[in-house]
Amino acid sequence: MTPTLPEGLEGAIRVDVAPDFRLDESAPDEQRFVFSYTVTVHNASGHSVQLLARYWKITQGSGKVQEVRGKGVVGQQPLIGPGQTFRYTSRAILDGPVGVMEGAYTCVDAASQRPFEVAISPFRLAGPNQVH
């Protein structure tokens, strides 16, 4: 069960993702397709929130599904103040030129220490010459 958002946080935490195919790191003839993705977490609330954990579901074009869970993001558990954003870039390696990622962040309201989840909408990973 997803924890309910603390009062004042409903719709106030937004996650934007910008994926990019990394040709310089990929080896298509070896079925290695590397994508970077830059995530921006926007805190439009009046509360400080801390990002504690991540969950990613990666669905490759082949149908293979991988789930990734872990503490924080890129080695951090950032505290994001009211009106602030936090941005980071990470990578995903697929065995084909297309895939979809989606997930969620587990956060905590710094004042009340109430945990809540922020959904990350599905986004497409597509190599060159793939239909977008």
- Take residue 50 and report the two structure tokens written for it: 């801390």
This prediction's pTM: 0.90
Q: Which domains does the chain have, with CATH numbers?
A: 13-125 (2.60.40.1470)
27 SS3 class: strand
- Take residue 52 and report the two structure tokens written for it: 């504690």
List per-residue pLDDT tens for the chain, 132 residues long.
Answer: 455 566 666 678 999 999 999 999 999 999 999 999 999 999 999 999 999 999 999 999 999 999 999 999 999 999 999 999 999 999 999 999 999 999 999 999 999 999 999 999 999 999 877 654
